[in-house]
Amino acid sequence: MKRKYRLVIIGFLFLLLFQVQASGKEQIDWNSRWPLSLISNYEADNSDSNDNPTGDANKGEQQTKETTEYEKPQLVIPVVPATATVTAHHEEATSASPSPGTSTASGASPSKTPIAELYKEFNGTLFRSGPSDSNKIALTFDDGPSEVTSDQVLDLLKTNGIKATFFLLGQNVSKYPQVVQRIVDEGHVVAGHSWSHPRMDKLLPERIDKEIAATEQAIFQVTGCNIALFRPPYGAVNRETLDSLKQSGYTVITWSVDSLDWKYPHELNQVRYSTLKDVKGGAILLFHTMAGKKPSKVIDKLLPELIQTLQSQGYEFVTVDELLSVPAYK
């Protein structure tokens, strides 16, 4: 009997180990995603990254992965402290950054400064909202450009005569350049959101710089705009990330209102509530233009209503640079 139990336990442990290894592999064709000039540099320090891709994924799998990323709240929603007034999943991620003791071979030592202190320290560089005595608020859309939902948003903004800010992923810019051009042509602001959507507070400095530079380069190649606004994925920043961004001439933007559209794409009541409960003057509102071929229900059914509600309450929609009186481009 005992021996039988032991065998079952050993078998279970093997299974567990296999699962952990399998889940550690990411299906990204990494080389196809960096601009050529950056590939050779990147490969040199590839082994330092903890989100290393394998290299045999096709585009369909990439799409699926990007879409399902929104369904992994354990990555981006740590426990919200009882004192928190805003449920900003990305910001909370910051406090979960590695402790100073976890330095890597090449000397990276991500800091674990509480986000509130970083907002003070990087006053004038890091913003979650604008002046609260103003009636201006800013709509922002992350993770584009995308095939369907970006156009959906642009159509809606056009109908309503509203300008917004789009935080773009470099890897998508090269896939859908025509969408990026449309964003700029219609008077909206393009900004950076990294190349491949990593948690930048967990990267080595060299990799942070590449995420920034590659995105900047991709947007410049398509639009001729030299972006000066940047939003780190998940709002996950530490001192190293902010230093790099500041040195590269960026204003770093998080948000004060998380619509939670990434978490509840089909629950419009929830998204309506999450959005309206936190809006006040100077608010920066976070929405997404998600990857995939399906139109977004939030953009189609809810966003027109939210825009109308907020306008009837006296709010005026502006781009982030206008809200904060900072340059959108260098």
Q: Is 91 in the site for Ni ion (CB under 5 A)?
A: no
185 labelled catalytic: no
123: exposed, middle or buried (C-beta count within 10 Å: 0-12, 13-18, 19+)? exposed
Q: Residue with CB nearest Ni ion?
A: 142
Catalytic residue among 90, 142, 143, 321: 142
Nearer to Ni ion, 69 or 206 (CB): 69
Query: Which distant-in-sequence residues (6+ apart) come within 8 Å of 136 by Cβ?
Result: 130, 281, 282, 315, 316, 317, 318, 322, 323
- Helix 205-223, helix 177-185: angle, nearest 10: 70
Q: Is 265 in the site for Ni ion (CB under 5 A)?
A: no
| Binding residue (CB under 5 A) for Ni ion from 143, 151, 216, 240 | 143
Cα separation, 146 vs 167, in Å, equals 12
Q: Which of 197, 147, 143, 174 is nearest to 28 (CA)?
A: 197
Rg (CA), the chain: 20
Nearer to Ni ion, 200 or 315 (CB): 200
| Binding residue (CB under 5 A) for Ni ion from 66, 142, 201, 261 | 142
The region of 37-45, 113-121, 134-142, 214-222 touching Ni ion under the rule CB under 5 A is 134-142
Nearer to Ni ion, 142 or 151 (CB): 142
The region of 28-36, 143-151, 153-161, 221-229 touching Ni ion under the rule CB under 5 A is 143-151
Shortest Å, Cβ 44 to Ni ion: 27
Q: Is 53 in the site for Ni ion (CB under 5 A)?
A: no
Catalytic residue among 89, 193, 197, 288: 288
Q: Is 321 in the site for Ni ion (CB under 5 A)?
A: no
Shortest Å, Cβ 144 to Ni ion: 10
Number of residues that bind Ni ion (CB under 5 A): 3
The region of 4-12, 104-112, 138-146, 310-318 touching Ni ion under the rule CB under 5 A is 138-146
Nearer to Ni ion, 130 or 233 (CB): 233
Shortest Å, Cβ 258 to Ni ion: 11
Residue 155 has, within 13 A of its CA and on its CB side, a CA count of 10
Task: Mark out the alpha helices in 51-202 (DSSP H runs).
Answer: 59-68, 73-76, 89-94, 115-121, 149-160, 170-173, 177-185
Cα separation, 14 vs 8, in Å, equals 10
Shortest Å, Cβ 233 to Ni ion: 5
Shortest Å, Cβ 92 to Ni ion: 14
208-237 binders of Ni ion (CB under 5 A) = 233
The distance of Cα 269 from the centroid of its chain, to the nearest Å, equals: 23
Cα separation, 136 vs 162, in Å, equals 12
Nearer to Ni ion, 168 or 225 (CB): 168
Residue whose structure tokens are 């009837």? 312
HEC secondary structure over 258-324: ECCCCCCCCCHHHHHHHHHCCCCCCCEEEEECCCCCCCCHHHHHHHHHHHHHHHHCCCEEECHHHHH
Q: Decide if 180 contacts 222 (C-beta within 8 A).
A: yes
Nearer to Ni ion, 143 or 321 (CB): 143
Q: Decide if 237 contacts 252 (C-beta within 8 A).
A: yes
Nearer to Ni ion, 288 or 315 (CB): 288
Shortest Å, Cβ 95 to Ni ion: 18
142 labelled catalytic: yes
3-state class of 117 per DSSP?
helix
Q: Is 66 in the site for Ni ion (CB under 5 A)?
A: no
Shortest Å, Cβ 146 to Ni ion: 12
List the catalytic residues: 142, 288
Q: Which residues bind Ni ion (CB under 5 A)?
A: 142-143, 233
